[in-house]
Structure 1
Amino acid sequence: METSQYLELFIEESREHLQTCNEQLLELEKQPGNLSIVNDIFRAAHTIKGMSATMGYSDIADLTHKMENVLDAIRNEKAGVTPEVLDVVLTAIDQLESMTEDIAAGGTGTLDVSETVRQLAKIEAGDQASPSAGSSGEFRSALVYDEYEFMVLEQAAAAQMSSFEITVELQDDCQLKAARAFMVFEALSSLGEVIKTDPSTEELEDGEFGNRFQAVLVTSGKAGEVKQAVLSVSEVKDADIQAVTAGQVKGRASAEPKKQLKSGTGSTADEHSDEQPSRQKVSNKTIRVSIDRLDHLMNLFEELVIDRGRLQSLSRDLNNQALTETVEHMSRISGDLQSVILNMRMVPVDTVFNRFPKMVRQLSRDLGKQIRLEITGAETELDRTVIDEIGDPLVHLIRNAIDHGIETPEIRNRSGKPEEGILKLRAYHSGNNVFIEIEDDGAGISKDRVLDKAVENGVVTRDQAQNLEDREVYELIMASGFSTAETISDISGRGVGLDVVKTTIEGLGGSITIDSEEGTGSVFSVRLPLTLSIIPVMLVRLGNEVYAVPISSITETMLIQDEDILMVHDRQMIDYRGRVIPLISLHQVFGAHESENRTAQAVLIVQKGSKAAALSVDSFIGQQEVVLKPLGNYLTDVHAISGATILGDGKVALIVDSASLIQ
């Protein structure tokens, strides 16, 4: 069957079902006795298995089948819902996601999942999951045998030969573990045949295990001979030899995946595959549209917006009533069309937020902290282009809050706080912007520590540090290369700090502010525009040229008299509502001709975080929605210009980047 035409659908469906598995597994951890949650996870996994088998991705189907067996064991109360079991299942989900993304990138979707399969098989056999050998060196005694190994044990018994499970423990200071393991197997091979190892031979050769490993030997020798041969190898601390027969391991045989396209778990899977037929009716109300088609539609509409402005300009010049009425009607229709198209491109921030619960859970376990993540406003929508870029900055902010913000249970106890820290992630609309806030009830930011580090790194001088407001002090942690971390960890603090987060967010036309109280917690607030394609601007005149300033950065427009201008250290300043802020002449910035006879100046008050400035222009033309066009690869270094737009009269207006002027 030709499957390429279904590839995009397979990838999207797999992503959705894997996300369902992630969310429900985290919910199952909170409600281990709620078996209906297990049924939801099972249905999602069963769907993934069926789709991947149909598409020919057998590795995904096989791993999902193993995961299904564990879920079935949980559902039938043969396995418990423990953090260790969930760790293994979540690892399987991570690997399925990696395989799916590999297919999306043009790969084959293959991945070495042998260790995860081994752990899943142990759980299925009634043995609880254990940490990987590489991390702790601990093994369970119950090895899991496949059909071939089971058959060898039977044949050995028929031939009057003995079979032994051997657990070898190396000395704690053993430096060449892989070499010692090789020497042990050489000694065992002289007595018989090694039919199984745990970990695998590849992991043993790479030294990816702790101080213990296991082997199964078929031999005509005695247990004492086997133990003596193992202990003869230097740096072997101990060896445990246990006789084993096919009858003893019969209940530990691993289940082989059934190569079926529709069902690989028998009547149990079929029983639950059609439990909710009503869901099909809901899915019929939506269709999947390629992102490329939406981008093409948006490009066409941008051209329409430009032509709309041109028609409005011509209508005013010709002063024809019929033409004016037609243009006004077309403007209303195109305005409605603009709203529809922009809504089509809007995506809930939930598509970004849904990756965080699992991440917070894992980081909490890694750091030995107790953290509860609370998410609100996940239904808030953003333009797809913004969604694509905001994920990594939010990941970094959350990792910093977990690593640097929330304390360990012991420290929180001494501070009179509950052992469990709270991390709040919320999103909400405000005007033409979306705000995303990351709040924690941790240690907060130490102003003195930040200032000392800033002075030490040369970010500010000691004199400047004394005059900074609280919020300005907190913003220092977003300076390039700034870090107050005492030690470098895998969680955060490897040189890619908040300066990268700040740069990314400002590149999206947004901003980030920080509020904190030492000992109480911190709030990082990210402001983002709803869309990056069509933006409202204030058109201003400089000499004979027209410039556009985004409305999102303007707080006020006003006229000032020349006598109101102050000179401070040879810089022009004005008094704005009790604050002295710099006055920046756009005429000087862009080399425009400046009127000599004026007595008053039109200024725009623009703001970036806690900083503000006044931009001097000749006059205001008015507000207008314009299409933001990039300057291209040849004009990347143009100062204080973020793009351009085409006006109704066909002329090009440059869009002012007020944030860079304040900087």
Structure 2
Amino acid sequence: MSGDLSGFSMMELFRIETENQAAVLTEGLLELERDPTSAATLEALMRAAHSIKGAARIISLDGAVRIAHQMEDCFVAAQGREVTLGAADVDVLLSGVDMLSQISNLKEGDASAWFEGHAEAMDALVAAMAAILDGGSGDVGKQDSANRAVQKGDEEDEMTSVPEVKAAVREGRDGDGGREESKDRVLRLSSEHLDRMLALASEMQVGWQWLRPFSDSMLMLKRRLGELEKMLAGLEPAVTQADPSTGSYRIKSARSKAEQCRALLAEQQEELEMHSRSVSGLSHRLYHQTVASRMRPFGDGIPGFRRMVRDLAKDLGKKVRLDVSGLETTVDRDILEKIESPLNHLIRNAIDHGLESPVERRDQGKPEEGVIQLEAIHQSGMLRISVSDDGRGLDLDALRAKVIRNGHATKEMVDRMTESELMSFLFLPKFTMKESVTEISGRGVGLDIVASMVRDVRGNIHCTAQQGNGMRFELLLPITLSVVRSLLVNIAGEPYAFPLVHINRTLRCNRDEVERVEGHQFITLDGQQVGLASAREVLGLPGADSDGCYSIVVVGTMESRYGLIVDDFLGERDLVEKVLHPRLGKVKDISAAAVTADGSPLLIFDVSDLLRSVAKLVGDGKLGRASHGGASSKAVAKRILVVDDSLTVREVERKLLVSKGYEVEVAVDGMDGLNTVRSGAFDLVISDVDMPRMDGIEFVSHIKRDARLRDTPVIIVSYKESDEDRMRGLEAGADSYLTKSSFHDETLVETVEDLIGKAS
């Protein structure tokens, strides 16, 4: 939007006006349930309804005028203490808000037909709102209220005009108030244009830093010049003695020239320093101002959450309050758009799964009203969003039983899992703790989507629970997607970057603090053992002797956590991410590249991939000592590639096969699997079907069409059990088709042995 709204149709203006005022009406009505006599809330509600009525009258939306007018009557009556708006009345008025929103979203020319088709519903709604007034204190009061509303409507006809509506939209007024000039004039920009501006600002933010090393080089030149002057002074006696007539003169001339160079160099260096500081300040302000143009308050992304909580709780017969903090916390608009649906799902889960009925809560000594807390804060350069409730929490024993019953793992495997590993099953596709399917939940669709969204924006999600004391989901996300806030490290003389969002902590420790058990090395952090691996070893780089002190970056997810030993920490930086060329395919352990201040390239780690590489080394017994190198040369006879988009499923399959002596490598989807199988020699491939980018059927087809790979046996392991799905897999070229329940009865291992024999 801009100061000139001539490009907007009247219907678009009405939609913008109604969208703004509907948010005011919804929040106000929900607040009114808690404090029905709040004068400030009633005033805001009356003004919002009045504003919509005026805007609707301008474009002859008579149906909208009727609804808004009747709503206004209700608020005016409540202001005059003629009625008290209760929960049932709020229901009716919220229905009015919904219908006004529907009307505002009609296309040009569709209004007449829509009103004709919804005439009966509108009459019923207006009658229901009129009935609210019948609950007032008397006919006189009702008549006075009606008269005031009619009078207000008559005044509107005289005072409201098209320019008024445009001004109201432009300035954010309620439509009938004063004419204060807005200090913030909003400009219409395409998102593509804004993204280009941000990319340029980000490049400048990095580019100006080149001046610093240039300034340092000039300072070094100044020192060298000082050394030259000293050398000339030392040569003067010898040269004068050897050439008495001209030697002394020549030395003095050389010293004079050197002094002139020193003065000029000092002057230029001072100017460069001033220019560097100026450019630094300008680029910093430009970058942050451009980033700020992309940022929106967290509250903008959750406008309907309170209403959703109220309506869903009512449908389920529960009492629920949503407490939101951090509404003004700024969030990148792209991230804000992506998190609305996942947060909606987490809150709906909390209401349906987590919070008990009022009777249950009362019996447990809890308040009848359950509380869901939604919080957004900036923390250590990241955005942390938490969703928690005070409900029944999670029964871990029931979760273990469900995992075993669904065939995701054997009892022996489950018994060895940590609490965080166990809870990771909640994020599996189609996994649910509900025994029955309802309109709200039980289909197993949701938490896997939440986890997928978090991965898409380079974030992490963590879940904690305690039986009887609620659950808590924490999303750790970047504040903006324009740059990657990273920790730079030195590995084998080259810089690499860890995105901060994936770092648990960093530390330095002495060699004697490292513990060793059965060939594996670890350190103890917060009472937990964290395995160690050399970053050089994981990346296949030459090893180096340790000086006895380790620099460790601890990274990981709910499923696994490891400490990567690097050569040194180089500090935190904001990096402009450069996408790797598609011809490179999926580069193992690397997600993107960036450019340092001196123009040198560096690689940004794909931490999820890096963790898989570490886990593979650990599982295969190939991880060497906790040093800066020394990869083991131990060979494993038969290699298997496991391809699945679920980390938990991959890990279950990997551990199962490694326990039988096979060497196992993993890939995250069909595309990753195809790149991996083409770049290595495998005796067998095991693949899922439903995966992003390239599904299992297409993946198997590619293998069987490749002359070099077509003889490699392929097993499909899928949740799909129908004969039709089995035939699709076999027709694509799979040598065997199993269901994921095969983990439980070792059918998978038997099939592997049938196709390629035992590991040894």
Taking structure 2 as the reference length, the TM-score comes to: 0.61
From 425, 434, 447, give the equivalent of 2:374.
425
Match of 1:203 in 2: none
From 170, 188, 212, give the equivalent of 1:290.
188
Match of 1:132 in 2: none
Contact persistence 1:605–1:612 (CA under 8 A): yes
1:302 aligns with 2:202: yes
Contact persistence 1:445–1:474 (CA under 8 A): no
Superposition map of 1:120-519 within 5 A: 120-126=125-131, 265-267=153-155, 280-281=179-180, 284-290=182-188, 292=190, 294-319=194-219, 321-322=269-270, 323-519=272-468
Contact persistence 1:602–1:620 (CA under 8 A): yes
Match of 1:40 in 2: 44
Q: Secondary structure at the match of 1:4?
A: coil
TM-fit CA distance, 1:484:
0.4
TM-fit CA distance, 1:19:
0.6
The Cα offsets for residues 275-315 of structure 1, whole Å up to 9 and x where unpaired, read as 9988643x612222335354343122012123223333444
Contact persistence 1:562–1:599 (CA under 8 A): no
The Cα offsets for residues 462-488 of structure 1, whole Å up to 9 and x where unpaired, read as 223223343443343223322101111
Q: Secondary structure at the match of 2:435?
A: coil
**Residues 565 and 415 (structure 1), Cα distance of their counterparts in 2 relative to 1, 3 Å cut:** closer
Contact persistence 2:484–2:499 (CA under 8 A): yes
Give me the whole-angstrom Cα distance separating, in 2, the residues matched to 1:432 and 1:590: 28
Match of 1:167 in 2: none
TM-fit CA distance, 1:431:
1.9
What RMSD, in angstroms, separates the aligned Cα atoms of the two structures?
Answer: 4.0
Contact persistence 1:20–1:44 (CA under 8 A): yes
Q: Secondary structure at the match of 2:320?
A: strand
The Cα offsets for residues 237-256 of structure 1, whole Å up to 9 and x where unpaired, read as xxxxxxxxxxxxxxxxxx9x
**Residues 496 and 307 (structure 1), Cα distance of their counterparts in 2 relative to 1, 3 Å cut:** same
Give me the whole-angstrom Cα distance separating, in 1, the residues matched to 2:105 and 2:74: 29
Give me the whole-angstrom Cα distance separating, in 2, the residues matched to 1:482 and 1:491: 15
- Between 1:295-304 and 1:314-323, the stretch displaced more is 314-323
Q: Secondary structure at the match of 1:423?
A: strand
Give the letter aligned to residue 522 of structure 2.
I
1:556 aligns with 2:557: no
Match of 2:67 in 1: 66
Give the letter aligned to residue 305 of structure 1.
Q
1:14 aligns with 2:29: no
The structure richer in strand per residue is 1
TM-fit CA distance, 1:367:
0.6
- Between 1:354-363 and 1:485-494, the stretch displaced more is 485-494
The Cα offsets for residues 151-187 of structure 1, whole Å up to 9 and x where unpaired, read as xxxxxxxxxxxxxxxxxxxxxxxxxxxxxxxxxxxxx
Q: Secondary structure at the match of 2:593?
A: strand
Contact persistence 1:459–1:479 (CA under 8 A): no
Match of 1:29 in 2: 33
TM-fit CA distance, 1:500:
1.4
TM-fit CA distance, 1:525:
2.1
Give me the whole-angstrom Cα distance separating, in 1, the residues matched to 2:586 and 2:29: 49
Contact persistence 1:533–1:627 (CA under 8 A): yes
Give the letter aligned to residue 198 of structure 2.
M
Contact persistence 1:450–1:484 (CA under 8 A): yes
**Residues 275 and 514 (structure 1), Cα distance of their counterparts in 2 relative to 1, 3 Å cut:** closer
TM-fit CA distance, 1:438:
1.8
Contact persistence 2:56–2:64 (CA under 8 A): no
Q: Secondary structure at the match of 1:421?
A: strand
Q: Secondary structure at the match of 1:266?
A: helix
Contact persistence 1:370–1:420 (CA under 8 A): yes
Give me the whole-angstrom Cα distance separating, in 2, the residues matched to 1:641 and 1:562: 32
Contact persistence 1:88–1:116 (CA under 8 A): no
Give me the whole-angstrom Cα distance separating, in 1, the residues matched to 2:582 and 2:353: 39
Match of 2:542 in 1: 594
Q: Secondary structure at the match of 1:410?
A: helix
Q: Which runs of 5+ in 1 are unaligned?
A: 130-254, 256-262
**Residues 278 and 499 (structure 1), Cα distance of their counterparts in 2 relative to 1, 3 Å cut:** same
Give me the whole-angstrom Cα distance separating, in 1, the residues matched to 2:497 and 2:529: 25
**Residues 125 and 18 (structure 1), Cα distance of their counterparts in 2 relative to 1, 3 Å cut:** closer
TM-fit CA distance, 1:23:
0.7
Give me the whole-angstrom Cα distance separating, in 1, the residues matched to 2:110 and 2:195: 28
**Residues 36 and 430 (structure 1), Cα distance of their counterparts in 2 relative to 1, 3 Å cut:** closer
1:4 aligns with 2:7: yes
Contact persistence 1:308–1:331 (CA under 8 A): yes
Give me the whole-angstrom Cα distance separating, in 2, the residues matched to 1:51 and 1:660: 55
Q: Secondary structure at the match of 1:520?
A: coil
Over 6 Å off, 4+ runs: 6-9, 77-80, 106-110, 268-279, 632-636
1:119 aligns with 2:124: yes
The Cα offsets for residues 509-528 of structure 1, whole Å up to 9 and x where unpaired, read as 32222222212222222222
TM-fit CA distance, 1:13:
4.0
Give me the whole-angstrom Cα distance separating, in 1, the residues matched to 2:392 and 2:361: 9
Give me the whole-angstrom Cα distance separating, in 1, the residues matched to 2:120 and 2:410: 54
**Residues 638 and 108 (structure 1), Cα distance of their counterparts in 2 relative to 1, 3 Å cut:** farther
Q: Secondary structure at the match of 1:368?
A: coil
Contact persistence 1:92–1:116 (CA under 8 A): no
From 471, 492, 513, give the equivalent of 1:522.
471
Give the letter aligned to residue 120 of structure 1.
L
Contact persistence 1:425–1:438 (CA under 8 A): yes
Contact persistence 2:432–2:443 (CA under 8 A): no
TM-fit CA distance, 1:448:
0.6
Residue identity (%): 29
TM-fit CA distance, 1:264:
9.3
Q: Secondary structure at the match of 2:44?
A: helix
**Residues 632 and 390 (structure 1), Cα distance of their counterparts in 2 relative to 1, 3 Å cut:** farther
Q: Secondary structure at the match of 1:537?
A: strand
TM-fit CA distance, 1:450:
0.8
**Residues 31 and 456 (structure 1), Cα distance of their counterparts in 2 relative to 1, 3 Å cut:** same
**Residues 622 and 267 (structure 1), Cα distance of their counterparts in 2 relative to 1, 3 Å cut:** closer
Give the letter aligned to residue 289 of structure 1.
L
1:626 aligns with 2:631: no
**Residues 95 and 335 (structure 1), Cα distance of their counterparts in 2 relative to 1, 3 Å cut:** same
Q: Secondary structure at the match of 1:582?
A: strand
Give the letter aligned to residue 286 of structure 1.
D
TM-fit CA distance, 1:629:
3.4
Contact persistence 1:345–1:383 (CA under 8 A): yes
Taking structure 1 as the reference length, the TM-score comes to: 0.69
TM-fit CA distance, 1:91:
2.8
**Residues 419 and 561 (structure 1), Cα distance of their counterparts in 2 relative to 1, 3 Å cut:** closer
Give the letter aligned to residue 595 of structure 1.
G
Q: Secondary structure at the match of 1:509?
A: coil
Q: Which runs of 5+ in 2 are unaligned?
A: 135-145, 165-172, 220-267, 613-760
Give me the whole-angstrom Cα distance separating, in 1, the residues matched to 2:357 and 2:599: 62
**Residues 315 and 459 (structure 1), Cα distance of their counterparts in 2 relative to 1, 3 Å cut:** farther
Match of 2:703 in 1: none
